[in-house]
A and B are shown apart, each in its own frame.
Chain A
Amino acid sequence: MNVAVPSDEKLREVALTRAEYHSIVDQLGREPNDLELGMFGVLWSEHCSYKTSRPLLRRFPSGGERVLQGPGENAGVVDIGYGLAVAFKVESHNHPSAIEPYQGAATGVGGILRDVIAMGARPVALLDSLRFGPLPGSRRHLEGVVAGVGGYGNCMGIPTVGGEIYFDESYRGNPLVNAMCVGIVRQDQLKRAGTGRSGDSLILAGAPAGRDGIHAASFASLELDGSSEQRRPAVQVGNPFMEKCLLEACQEALDLEGVRAVQDLGAAGLTSAVAECAAKAEAGASIEIDRVPRRERGMTPYEVMLSESQERMLLIVEPGWEERVGAVFDRWDLEAVRIGSITGDGRLQIVERGVDVAAVPVRVLADGAPLRHPVSRAPEPAPTPSAPEPAEDAGATLVRLLGGPNLCSRRPVFRRYDHMVGNATLLPPGGDAAVLRVAGTPAALAMTIDGNGRYCRLDPLIGAEIAVCEAARNIVATGATPLAVTDCLNFGNPDRPEVFWQLERAVDGISRACEALGLPVVSGNVSLYNESEQGAIDPTPVIGMVGLLEDASRRVPQALQAEGDFVLLVGENAGGLEGSELAAREYGVQTGRPPVLDLLKEQAVQDLVLQASRQGLLRSAHDVAEGGLLVALAECCIWSGIGVRCSALQADGEVRQDAVFFGEAQSRFIVSATSHGLPELQSLARGLKVDLTLLGLAGGDRVEFDGQLSVPLSELRTAWDRGLEADA
């Protein structure tokens, strides 16, 4: 066939390559018209098609006896007993947040909420993982994103209960905003997009379509450059009030028997929502484009199909139920319009004033994007850094690290988020994982989100393994058993061989750690092309995790509880300094190897903490992470207002003293126990062959190591409290 390929400019506008264009023509047996080409552009974008990452994502373990819904739906769903399930997912909104921090973050939250609502669940919590360039340069982005997250979540009345914030040079031109939502659904109300049947009505509910966000999904699949600013119109504007009404109306509509499925309109708007529903049902769909409500005059079918206007849901409704569905939305003063139907011919057909303006096989649109297999190449290894001179005063180092932007208190941020609405928050943000009770049951859910770009830069495989293990440690520290994972893979341009290699290694790392810990990956998102003029971001797989606490009253706090309790280190006191916050911040060393991780040891350590918490042996537990043992211990003290007196902690063999205090050896917790519980804890540790070191006793108003350091708690607290406000 003689194919007239559109101009490069046009192909770039829809973010398709020449080869992809040819593939469209081959699969259609003809050239697509402009509307069809636009639809292919968004659905074949990396953001929607996962054409680069899909082969890799198949490596994830995704099954398990509790898994009710694995990857491929709007959110993953896991059985938590009592006829209930937890639905959750994380998603990125990096590029919109880079351009327009407030709206980018706000609509990121709005989008992930709709994903969970689409499963039939009621959202109960939000978490977010944020990464920026160093302060003070990134202050505007930080403020805008935090205000956007809060602005949306607070107005919705969904508590924001957890998250992480991290500052590093690599995110200067391309900050990361990953939002996670957790919802609870009755298992008998679980909805899936693929349940439509031929003849079912498609009802579009919520906001009218505007011209905002056209090609946002394609935009997400390009690098940021000088022209990105001109893409501001591709950033959507959020209306959380409308979303709140939409949430309540959807919840009511889902009680109607005739509502088969709900699909959110997210990336690629109506095109993606309709194509996904039809593809999963192995059916077709017909849309009468004139019926789609719009808020701007003169919108073309192209603009209507590609609009990413927020706060919209598509309902698949059995014939005869349309009026009852309409009445529910009417009660909430929301528009709900029948815009078409599911058909049996496998085509997505768009009709304008009785004339077909697009008709393409759904299968080609939704699943036809040719998979890409970029070249993978390991980067040249960085030279081994020379060992820096150890800092002399461990106490002063501790104060500086605690006051540093990556380790200091996040209270100035989370107090701007409503983290209590819903009357469920048992352990609030600021600790390892948040814990929320599940109404009507004795159970609670623990949830966290975690990543570590620095470890992943040094070795994506080990860094990703650590990200999974650390998220699991956060969950385990509360006494909860980890259930499942959602992941957000934030990487640079995969066409760079080094970046694709990072992606492959990170996926393998997540897979290995998840297999070792018995955790399925049930949902996730891939965000590639995170680059700016200064290059690619550090590879940053972010892990969201949910755990189950069968008995909420068995939850373990992170803060020390009483003077006189024994304070202990679970896990080995070993390791080096490379990859640590100390090395980066105090010594300016950014190279080397990430900490060593032994997955068998990790499992044993987590087993110990879980068993001990179930037996009521732990008064507190906190995982040792960035900043090492001393920072973790200081946090336990700051949270409680109780100091700790420890005997001198000596380095074994070749381990440096500053590595003992600040090294980031993995698989460790700080726990406290009463004298009554200590012997049992020790015998449990012996049985599991886990190191358990008595550090000292809770008490006093200082953090003390005999002859090594003694810092007043007030000094640590002040530094920690004010860290985020300081411009350092």
Chain B
Amino acid sequence: MRFGVVVFPGTWSDRDCGWVVEHVLGEELRYLWHKDRDLAGVDCVILPGGFSYGDYLRAGAIARFSPVMESVREFADGGGLVWGICNGFQILCEAGLLPGALVRNAGSEFRCQWSHLVCDDAGSAFSNRLSRGQVIRVPISHGEGNYQADPATLSRIEQGGQVVFRYCDETGRLADGANPNGSAHHIAGIRNERGNVLGMMPHPERCAEPELGGTDGRLLFESALHAARERVPA
């Protein structure tokens, strides 16, 4: 399978995502430059973490206008797998590929720490190797990861089963202390209706090897592999 990792100026999880694709999974990797429209025939596009364009306006607000995003949108519309991690999630929301927005963390501090996530939807392209209710441990690292949407949108994504991951405690409970950024409904990751686009704030690429403290992130990469194999070309 060929993964494409998009590089915007200010992106920094590109190398970590690339490392997991090439060295942990042994799959094919292409870096996709933000100024290029060519997606190099990849099966899955990863929009990695970072501070694209410095995030000086709003996180992800400028990146959505870049040439590569036009192609990513077409690719997603055609059913291609698109995975936004951290800043990539913010970009997907800004680009309208996912509903809602990520705002400043409640408490306003940057947070880098391990978090527990409960899987609420095992149907997406990036969670099909998990089961509903499964708790995984994945690090977060962001200052603007507080997911918010208007009540109508929230109820629509809840009813549509589009919430894929929620912050929880180690037992899977949505305890107050287990929401590191104040996200509505403890939302850590959502998918589009079709299930081929996922945005999430936590960093699965940071926990795909035991020596880095955990391997749960690998399940998400393997889900993508599975989804790509299953997918009938559009």
Write out the residue numbers on chain B whose beta carbons fall within 8 Å of the beta carbon of A422: 15-16
Stretch from A86-94, A149-157, A352-360, A562-570 at the B interface: A149-157
Is B75 positioned at the interface, with any CB of A under 8 Å from its CB?
A: no
Partner of B203, one of A420, A426, A437: A420
Write out the residue numbers on chain A whose beta carbons fall within 8 Å of the beta carbon of B218: none
List which A51-83 residues lie within 8 A (CB) of chain B. none
Write out the residue numbers on chain A whose beta carbons fall within 8 Å of the beta carbon of B50: 157
13 A–B pairs (Cβ distance < 8 Å), ordered by A? A157-B50, A157-B51, A241-B55, A245-B10, A416-B110, A416-B111, A418-B110, A418-B141, A422-B16, A423-B16, A423-B19, A423-B209, A425-B212
Write out the residue numbers on chain A whose beta carbons fall within 8 Å of the beta carbon of B143: 154
The answer to whether A421 and B9 have CB atoms under 8 Å apart is: no
A155 touching B10 in the complex, CB below 8 Å, given contacts A416-B110, A419-B112: yes
- The chain B residue with its CB closest to the CB of A249 is B9
The answer to whether B112 and A417 have CB atoms under 8 Å apart is: yes
List which A388-432 residues lie within 8 A (CB) of chain B. 414-423, 425-426
Interface of B is mostly: mixed
Q: CB-CB contacts of B7-39 with A at 8 A, as 1s and 0s?
A: 001111101100110000000000000000000
Write out the residue numbers on chain B whose beta carbons fall within 8 Å of the beta carbon of A240: 51, 54
Write out the residue numbers on chain B whose beta carbons fall within 8 Å of the beta carbon of A239: 54
Is A321 positioned at the interface, with any CB of B under 8 Å from its CB?
A: no
Is A333 positioned at the interface, with any CB of B under 8 Å from its CB?
A: yes
Write out the residue numbers on chain A whose beta carbons fall within 8 Å of the beta carbon of B54: 155, 239-242
A244 touching B12 in the complex, CB below 8 Å, given contacts A155-B51, A426-B212: yes
Write out the residue numbers on chain B whose beta carbons fall within 8 Å of the beta carbon of A157: 11-13, 50-51
- The chain B residue with its CB closest to the CB of A159 is B112
Write out the residue numbers on chain A whose beta carbons fall within 8 Å of the beta carbon of B74: none
Partner of A439, one of B13, B19, B56, B113: B19
Is A259 positioned at the interface, with any CB of B under 8 Å from its CB?
A: no
Q: CB-CB contacts of B175-217 with A at 8 A, as 1s and 0s?
A: 0000000000000000000000000000101100101100000
List which A123-151 residues lie within 8 A (CB) of chain B. 150
Is A552 positioned at the interface, with any CB of B under 8 Å from its CB?
A: yes
Write out the residue numbers on chain B whose beta carbons fall within 8 Å of the beta carbon of A587: none
- The chain B residue with its CB closest to the CB of A143 is B109
A423 touching B10 in the complex, CB below 8 Å, given contacts A416-B111, A416-B112, A417-B112: no
List which A658-676 residues lie within 8 A (CB) of chain B. none
A420 touching B206 in the complex, CB below 8 Å, given contacts A241-B10, A245-B10: yes
- The chain B residue with its CB closest to the CB of A426 is B211
The answer to whether A415 and B112 have CB atoms under 8 Å apart is: yes
Write out the residue numbers on chain B whose beta carbons fall within 8 Å of the beta carbon of A155: 10, 51, 54-55
* Cα(A301)–Cα(B43), bound, Å: 54
- The chain A residue with its CB closest to the CB of B111 is A415
B16 → chain A closest CB, angstroms: 5
Write out the residue numbers on chain B whose beta carbons fall within 8 Å of the beta carbon of A421: 12-13, 16, 49, 141, 206
Write out the residue numbers on chain A whose beta carbons fall within 8 Å of the beta carbon of B206: 420-421, 423
Is B139 positioned at the interface, with any CB of A under 8 Å from its CB?
A: yes
Report, nearest first, the 7 A-B pairs whose CB atoms are least far apart.
Answer: A157-B12, A241-B54, A423-B16, A418-B141, A155-B51, A418-B112, A416-B110
* Cα(A156)–Cα(B141), bound, Å: 13
* Cα(A439)–Cα(B109), bound, Å: 31
- The chain B residue with its CB closest to the CB of A552 is B211
A423 touching B205 in the complex, CB below 8 Å, given contacts A154-B143, A241-B53, A418-B141: yes
List which A481-532 residues lie within 8 A (CB) of chain B. none
Write out the residue numbers on chain A whose beta carbons fall within 8 Å of the beta carbon of B109: 416
- The chain B residue with its CB closest to the CB of A423 is B16
A154 touching B211 in the complex, CB below 8 Å, given contacts A239-B54, A420-B203, A439-B19: no
- The chain A residue with its CB closest to the CB of B114 is A420
Residue from A150, A241, A422, A553 having most chain B Cβ neighbours under 10 A: A241
The answer to whether A150 and B139 have CB atoms under 8 Å apart is: no
Beyond contacts A154-B143, A244-B51, A439-B19: 4 other A-B pairs, Cβ-Cβ < 8 A, are: A157-B51, A240-B51, A417-B110, A420-B206
A290 → chain B closest CB, angstroms: 29
B3 → chain A closest CB, angstroms: 16
A123 → chain B closest CB, angstroms: 12
* Cα(A240)–Cα(B109), bound, Å: 18
* Cα(A264)–Cα(B19), bound, Å: 29
A331 → chain B closest CB, angstroms: 8
* Cα(A673)–Cα(B68), bound, Å: 55
Write out the residue numbers on chain B whose beta carbons fall within 8 Å of the beta carbon of A156: 12
B115 → chain A closest CB, angstroms: 11
- The chain A residue with its CB closest to the CB of B24 is A423
Write out the residue numbers on chain A whose beta carbons fall within 8 Å of the beta carbon of B211: 426, 437, 552-553
List which A242-285 residues lie within 8 A (CB) of chain B. 242, 244-245, 248
* Cα(A418)–Cα(B13), bound, Å: 12
Write out the residue numbers on chain B whose beta carbons fall within 8 Å of the beta carbon of A150: 110
The answer to whether A241 and B112 have CB atoms under 8 Å apart is: no
Write out the residue numbers on chain A whose beta carbons fall within 8 Å of the beta carbon of B110: 150, 154, 416-418
The answer to whether B16 and A332 have CB atoms under 8 Å apart is: no
Write out the residue numbers on chain A whose beta carbons fall within 8 Å of the beta carbon of B212: 420, 423, 425-426
The answer to whether A420 and B13 have CB atoms under 8 Å apart is: no
A245 touching B9 in the complex, CB below 8 Å, given contacts A420-B139, A423-B16: yes
List which B29-85 residues lie within 8 A (CB) of chain A. 49-51, 53-56
Write out the residue numbers on chain A whose beta carbons fall within 8 Å of the beta carbon of B139: 420
* Cα(A415)–Cα(B139), bound, Å: 11
Write out the residue numbers on chain A whose beta carbons fall within 8 Å of the beta carbon of B111: 415-416
* Cα(A418)–Cα(B203), bound, Å: 12
Write out the residue numbers on chain B whose beta carbons fall within 8 Å of the beta carbon of A418: 110, 112, 141
- The chain B residue with its CB closest to the CB of A155 is B51
* Cα(A332)–Cα(B139), bound, Å: 30
B220 → chain A closest CB, angstroms: 15
Write out the residue numbers on chain A whose beta carbons fall within 8 Å of the beta carbon of B16: 421-423
Write out the residue numbers on chain A whose beta carbons fall within 8 Å of the beta carbon of B13: 157, 421
* Cα(A625)–Cα(B55), bound, Å: 41
Write out the residue numbers on chain B whose beta carbons fall within 8 Å of the beta carbon of A241: 9-10, 51, 53-56
B139 → chain A closest CB, angstroms: 6
* Cα(A304)–Cα(B165), bound, Å: 52
* Cα(A150)–Cα(B111), bound, Å: 10
* Cα(A240)–Cα(B143), bound, Å: 15
Q: CB-CB contacts of B208-234 with A at 8 A, as 1s and 0s?
A: 010110000000000000000000000
Residue from B49, B54, B205, B209 having most chain A Cβ neighbours under 10 A: B54
Write out the residue numbers on chain A whose beta carbons fall within 8 Å of the beta carbon of B49: 421
A415 touching B19 in the complex, CB below 8 Å, given contacts A155-B54, A423-B212, A426-B211: no
Write out the residue numbers on chain B whose beta carbons fall within 8 Å of the beta carbon of A248: 9
A336 → chain B closest CB, angstroms: 15
Residue from B20, B50, B56 having most chain A Cβ neighbours under 10 A: B50
List which A334-387 residues lie within 8 A (CB) of chain B. none
Q: CB-CB contacts of B79-123 with A at 8 A, as 1s and 0s?
A: 000000000000000000000000000000111110000000000
Write out the residue numbers on chain B whose beta carbons fall within 8 Å of the beta carbon of A420: 112, 139, 141, 203, 206, 212
Write out the residue numbers on chain A whose beta carbons fall within 8 Å of the beta carbon of B205: 423
- The chain B residue with its CB closest to the CB of A440 is B23
Write out the residue numbers on chain B whose beta carbons fall within 8 Å of the beta carbon of A244: 9-10, 12, 51
B201 → chain A closest CB, angstroms: 13
